[in-house]
Amino acid sequence: MRLNNRINNKIFTRKGMKIMLIILAIFAFCIFVFISLLLIYSPGKLETYLDKNGKPILGSISEKVFVNIGGVKQGMFIKGKNINNPVLLFVHGGPSFPEYFLFDKYPSGLEDYFTICYWEQRGGGLSYNSDIPIESMTFEKLTSDAIEVTNYLRKRFDKKKIYIMAHSGGTIFAIQAVQQSPELYEAYIGIAQITNQAESEKLAYKYMMDEYNNQGNKKAIEKLSKYPIIDSDTYILPFHKSLIRDKYMHELGIGTMRNMKNVFKDVFIQVWKCKAYTIKEKINIWESKFSFVKKTKLLDQLFKTDISKKILILNIPVYFFSGKYDLTVNHDLSKSYLEKLEAPVKGFYTFNESAHSPIFEEPQKVKEIMINDVLKKETTLADK
């Protein structure tokens, strides 16, 4: 009997060892595949524009550049099919969370008409460096950086003026750069233009609570109730920082994009798939977002700033693009602000299929407006 038990134990041990070795082999293979895919998707280079014969298009540009801006090494992608085209500086949102990976997934077609600089702000993406002083991360400094980047582009491409387009968190200081130095710009395009973000968050919170009450979704109401927004602004910041906010905004189609329901798949994974970044640069994007930027005062500044009271006149053409379903930056607040803003030319454009990011959700319409209105300093396509 004991002999049989010993034999059975040996057999069981051998089988266990085999199973363990198979599991380890599968695990090692998965790691190998994962690392291989990371390397394949992370060359850190941009593709050259090619003609129908497969040769580089003469006069085109497609490069990653690092420039000393405000005493900090800052990165940018510069792309366009003809360097003689007008220059467009794109100021991403966040704050300090780059969006080039989304342009990579949702091409705008604007590079046929503009030389576009996708600048990555200090503290984020290509411009992340843990040695950047936290105290330098202010909207005043970002405004100064934007003007410095503008002058770099003007000099490099021999332009008297350039166009500037900003999205979401980038609008709060890009519009201040325009106010301070209007002589540098042809026109300002604000996508999801921030006005009074504290008020916008309150409106978004009320909308979500009303929607989930109507649906009878007790679970969502219970979770949102943990981050109450009342008149005191001190309750807004924890709500804005919470993952609960983003989860339910996307679930209701009022977040980054109307049809974006899974931020992990459509944002996190997409960063790792973008070939313009090296592995280290991709790590820096997330290191910045989840660690560095959270240590700054940028969100505090955001909620204490009311652009609609701070900037009442701009001396260049102004265009606001806003998604009909945008409650991340409230559509109605942006529209009301433009109605009050004095400018030589101004137009408001509602995107009926979009939430927070019309440039990625309805890129064809954006292109049409840029070609037919912005370049001509007209408003023929604007809301009536």
User: At 365, is the secondary structure helix, strand, or coil?
Assistant: helix
Distance CA 333, CA 194 (A): 8
How many angstroms from the chain centroid is the CA of residue 65?
A: 19
Residue type, 93: G
Distance CA 59, CA 74 (A): 25
Check whether 208 has a pLDDT greater than 90.
yes
Note the residue count of the chain: 384
- Is the separation of the CB atoms in 91 and 119 below 8 Å? yes
Quick one: 330 and 383 in the same domain? yes
Distance CA 357, CA 362 (A): 8
Q: Which string of DSSP letters, residue by residue, matches 271-336?
A: HHH-TTS-HHHHHHHHHIIIIIGGGSSHHHHHHH-BHHHH--B-SS-EEEEEETT-TTTTHHHHHH
Quick one: 7 and 110 in the same domain? no
Confidence of residue 58 (pLDDT cuts 50, 70, 90): very high
* Closest to 365 measured CA to CA, from 352, 378, 376: 352
Write down the pTM of the prediction.
0.92
Number of folded domains in the chain? 2
Tokens linked to 110: 């604007």
Tell me the mean pLDDT in the region 300-329. Answer: 96
Distance CA 343, CA 270 (A): 38
Quick one: 160 and 222 in the same domain? yes
* H helix and E strand count, the chain: 16, 8
Confidence of residue 96 (pLDDT cuts 50, 70, 90): confident
Quick one: 127 and 23 in the same domain? no
Dihedral sign for Cα atoms in the order 7, 10, 16, 18: negative
Residue type, 364: Q
Q: What residue numbers bound the domain in which 3 lies?
A: 1-40
Dihedral sign for Cα atoms in the order 62, 63, 64, 68: negative
Q: In the prediction, which pLDDT does 167 show? A: 98
- Is the separation of the CB atoms in 116 and 76 below 8 Å? no
Q: What is the DSSP letter of 47?
A: P
Tokens linked to 258: 């109307």
Residue carrying the six token digits 């014969």: 53
Tell me the mean pLDDT in the region 252-267. Answer: 91
Quick one: 3 and 146 in the same domain? no
Return the CATH number at 124: 3.40.50.1820
Quick one: 168 and 120 in the same domain? yes
Vertex 316: Cα angle to 313 and 322 (nearest 5): 80
Quick one: 36 and 127 in the same domain? no
- Is the separation of the CB atoms in 174 and 92 below 8 Å? no
Quick one: 242 and 171 in the same domain? yes
Q: State pLDDT tens for residues 63-73.
A: 999 999 999 99
Q: What is the DSSP letter of 57?
A: P
Quick one: 231 and 122 in the same domain? yes
Tell me the mean pLDDT in the region 290-316. Answer: 92
Q: In the prediction, which pLDDT does 317 show? A: 98
Quick one: 20 and 162 in the same domain? no
Confidence of residue 227 (pLDDT cuts 50, 70, 90): confident
Helix (H) or strand (E) holding 72: strand 72-80
Distance CA 24, CA 239 (A): 43
Quick one: 272 and 238 in the same domain? yes
Check whether 103 has a pLDDT greater than 90.
yes
Residue carrying the six token digits 């009320």: 206
Quick one: 212 and 298 in the same domain? yes
Q: State pLDDT tens for residues 153-195.
A: 999 999 999 999 999 999 999 999 999 999 999 999 999 999 9
Check whether 3 has a pLDDT greater than 60.
no
Check whether 204 has a pLDDT greater than 70.
yes
Check whether 133 has a pLDDT greater than 90.
yes
Compute, in degrees rounded to 10, the torsion defined by CA atoms 147, 151, 153, 155. 180
* Closest to 359 measured CA to CA, from 351, 334, 121, 317: 351
